[in-house]
Amino acid sequence: MSDRNPNNLARRRALLQGLRFGGAAGVLALGGIGLKALAAPEEVRIKMTVKRFEFSQKELRVKKGVPVVVEIVSEDVPHGFAIPAFKARAEVVMPGKPTEVRFTPDQVGEFQYLCDIFCGSKHEELEGLLIVTA
């Protein structure tokens, strides 16, 4: 659709008037676009487990700008979980107790996630890959 399309111009005018004279009316004036298009993206929930010395998922794939909740449970000893690039971290992941880590990726690329609480002789090998796409 062109910006000069009369329907687009009418929607813009209605939106601006609605924002001036009542906020929500401006949003409702969008009509064909709908409220769902304006809503924040739904969060993605990823469930995984961790044990000496592996995460149940070696790769996590998410989209830039979409909120993520990683729910992680230890199967053996206390572990950590951190994604340094996004400053996301669980204080401690206890055996049998789900722990949630929330973040919203704001850049595309490949990033490391890891256990950041010493859990044994191969602790430094306990890591995975977070892949963020556009």
List pLDDT tens digits, range 79-92: 999 999 999 999 99
Q: Is the pTM of this model over 0.85?
A: no
List pLDDT tens digits, range 44-69: 999 999 999 999 999 999 999 999 99
Binned at pLDDT 50, 70 and 90, residue 40 comes out as confident
Q: Which domains does the chain have, with CATH numbers?
A: 6-38 (no CATH), 44-133 (2.60.40.420)
Bond preceding residue 103 cis, omega within 30 of 0: no
Please, which residues bridge with residue 72 across strands? Answer: 48, 99
Q: What is the DSSP string of 22-86?
A: TTHHHHHTTGGG-SGGGSPPPPEEEEEEEETTEES-SEEEEETTS-EEEEEEESSS-EEEEEGGG
